[in-house]
Amino acid sequence: MKKDIILAGVGGQGILSIAACIGTAALDEGLYLKQAEVHGMSQRGGAVQSHLRIASTAVASDLIPEGSADLIISVEPMESLRYLPMLSRTGWIITSINPFVNIPDYPDMELILKEIWKQHHYVTLDADAVAKECGSMKAANMVILGAAAPLLGMKPSAIENAVEKIFASKGKDVVELNLKAFHAGRSHTMKQM
C-alpha cells in the first residue's frame, strides 16, 4: 500500500490539521509515514503545501516525486491546480470550491472549476456550506478530509479515531462537530463513486 498526498491551501487555512488526522490514523494502522510541512514566511497568507506519504514499507524521500502523487487534497480551488505537475495521471483531486481571495488578480471562479473538471478524477464540493449545515464553517477542513477518506486506503474507523484524538483536548462538542463534518464529506464522495 502506498498513498502519496499533496495537501494544499493558503497559509492560515489549517491544512496541517488534516495532515495530523491522516498521519495519526496511518501510525495507528502500523503504516510508515513521512510528512514534509511548510513553516515560516509562506504561512503569512501565501500558498502552502504539505507532502504526506503513507506506505506499508519504509518511505525514503520526504518529498513526493513529481508526477506520482495519488491525491491532491485542497481546501482552496485555485490552490488545487497549482500542484497538478505533482499528480499522477491516475491521481485524484479532492477540493473545496470555496475561494480564498487575498490577491487582486484572483481568477474567475467558473474558469477555475472548468480547469478542475478537465482532470481525469476529481471530487469538488462546497465544503463551507456542508460544514455550516453541520454546525460551523470552521469544520470545513474535516468535510474535505471526509471527502478524501474513501480514497486514502485506510478503514474509515481509523480516520474517525484520529479525528477524535486530534480534537479531544478541545472538548466533546468540537469532537462531535468535526466527526459530523467528516461523515458529511465522506458520504458526498461515496455518492459520486
Residues that bind another protein in the complex, under the rule CB under 8 A: 10-12, 23-24, 27, 32-47, 59-63, 65-69, 78-79, 81-82, 84-89, 91, 102-103, 105-108, 111-112, 115, 119
Closest CB to another protein among 155 and 172?
172
Look at residues 121, 128, 153, 139 and name the one whose alpha carbon lies nearest to residue 182. 139
The residues facing 93 across adjacent strands are 72, 122
Provide the minimum distance between the beta carbon of 17 and another protein in the complex, in angstroms, as a whole number. 13
Provide the minimum distance between the beta carbon of 133 and another protein in the complex, in angstroms, as a whole number. 24
Provide the minimum distance between the beta carbon of 10 and another protein in the complex, in angstroms, as a whole number. 7
Contact assessment for residue 21 and residue 42, using Cβ atoms and an 8 Å cutoff: no
Look at residues 55, 62, 65, 75 and name the one whose alpha carbon lies nearest to residue 15. 75
Closest CB to another protein among 86 and 184?
86
Closest CB to another protein among 60 and 190?
60
Look at residues 145, 144, 127 and name the one whose alpha carbon lies nearest to residue 136. 127
Provide the minimum distance between the beta carbon of 59 and another protein in the complex, in angstroms, as a whole number. 8
Provide the minimum distance between the beta carbon of 148 and another protein in the complex, in angstroms, as a whole number. 18
Closest CB to another protein among 121 and 129?
121
Provide the minimum distance between the beta carbon of 12 and another protein in the complex, in angstroms, as a whole number. 8
Contact assessment for residue 66 and residue 86, using Cβ atoms and an 8 Å cutoff: yes
The separation between CA 163 and the C-alpha centre of its own chain, rounded to angstroms, equals 13
Closest CB to another protein among 64 and 149?
64
SS3 97: coil
Look at residues 76, 67, 69, 66 and name the one whose alpha carbon lies nearest to residue 52. 69
Closest CB to another protein among 136 and 187?
136
Look at residues 191, 190, 168 and name the one whose alpha carbon lies nearest to residue 21. 168
